[in-house]
Amino acid sequence: MEQAEGPVQPGEELARLLEEAVDLARRAGEVTLGFFRASGLAVEHKADGTPVTQADRQAERLIRSELEKRHPADGIVGEEEGVKLGESGRRWFVDPIDGTIAFTRGVGTYTNLLALEDEQGIAIGVINVPALGETVYAARGLGCYWNGAPAHVSDCDQLAESYVTTSAFDNWTDSALLALKQAGAQLRTWSDGFGYALVATGRVDAMTDMEAESYDIAPVPVIVSEAGGRFSDLSGLMRHDGGSALASNGRLHEDLLAMLVLP
């Protein structure tokens, strides 16, 4: 006689949802590649001045339609189509193209971002870099992976030996920029979601955004923490809705916070 299956364990459920999220982010990436470097790509500007394209809208629609079909009780927060309230206590964050400026300029570091938040915080995060064929993803308690291989942050513990990247320097204070420069940090602009993927895979030691929306950084807390690093806003709190972000290998985090918040 065949035994009845037991209840699904939390780790099994997260593993299944992670596999689903990775697949959706990659499918969205395939949509965007169909427009990438295409002649005649129309670029519009939203009310806040940020660019948007048909690729952004189609990629988000694909993800949202699949989530609405598979998880109708879940909420959704998306960059292009706003907020759908849910009843399950879970919500998904969707940024169909993080780095639209890079995308419209033909630079292959743009990403597709997807995250799931439950009552304990961000449970699943995916950063897909379709033009480079890279996906970095994690689920709470299940580790972080880079194209299927375990991902880990760097072991650098000296600012003078570190690589720190950011999306842009135009919203930095002069004092913060000077402090990191004088500390000997190598400053780069490998930016947006790609920069956070670099932290999780040990290729840079820290990534920061002085200004960030939740959908820009929602996957990062679980990805970086599962890779052995640390994520916070610039007040030092582990939250994706604080309006700013710092991800590091953990060893440099406090020193970086002290410098980045200088007046």
Fold annotation for 10-150: Fructose-1,6-Bisphosphatase; Chain A, domain 1 (3.30.540)
Q: What is the C-alpha to C-alpha distance for residues 44 and 51, in angstroms, rounded to an integer? A: 6
Q: Rounded to whole angstroms, what are the CA distances from 143 to 10, 56, 70, 148, 219?
A: 14, 29, 25, 11, 13
Strands 163-166, 143-146: pairing kind: unpaired
pTM of the model: 0.94
Question: How confident is the prediction for the chain on average, in pLDDT?
Answer: 94
Q: What is the C-alpha to C-alpha distance for residues 239 and 233, in angstroms, rounded to an integer? A: 6
Q: What is the C-alpha to C-alpha distance for residues 17 and 39, in angstroms, rounded to an integer? A: 36
Fold annotation for 159-260: D-Maltodextrin-Binding Protein; domain 2 (3.40.190)
Which amino acid, residue 207?
M
Task: Please write the tens of the pLDDT for every residue from 226-247.
Answer: 999 999 999 999 999 999 999 9
Q: What is the C-alpha to C-alpha distance for residues 115 and 153, in angstroms, rounded to an integer? A: 20
Question: Tokens representing 105?
Answer: 């300029």
Q: Rounded to whole angstroms, what are the CA distances from 4 to 1, 7, 11, 15?
A: 9, 10, 19, 21
Residue with tokens 């991902």, as numbered in its chain: 151
Residue 263: its pLDDT value, please? Answer: 67
DSSP-based three-state secondary structure for 229: coil
Q: What is the C-alpha to C-alpha distance for residues 48 and 1, in angstroms, rounded to an integer? A: 63
Task: Please write the tens of the pLDDT for every residue from 27-63.
Answer: 999 999 999 999 888 888 887 778 889 999 999 999 9
How confident is residue 7, by pLDDT bands cut at 50, 70 and 90? low
The reply to whether domains 10-150 and 159-260 share a CATH topology is no
Question: Tokens representing 242?
Answer: 């604080």
Backbone angles phi, psi at 8, to 5 degrees: -70, 130
Q: What is the C-alpha to C-alpha distance for residues 107 and 98, in angstroms, rounded to an integer? A: 12
Which of these, 37, 29, 74, 75, lies nearest to 56 by C-alpha position? 29
| Extents of the domains making up the chain | 10-150, 159-260
Task: Please write the tens of the pLDDT for every residue from 99-155.
Answer: 999 999 999 999 999 999 999 999 999 999 999 999 999 999 999 999 999 999 999
Residues ≥6 apart with Cβ < 8 Å to 222 = 115, 121, 122, 123, 124, 125, 138, 139, 140
Check: CB of residue 77 under 8 Å from CB of residue 94.
yes
Q: What is the C-alpha to C-alpha distance for residues 36 and 53, in angstroms, rounded to an integer? A: 11
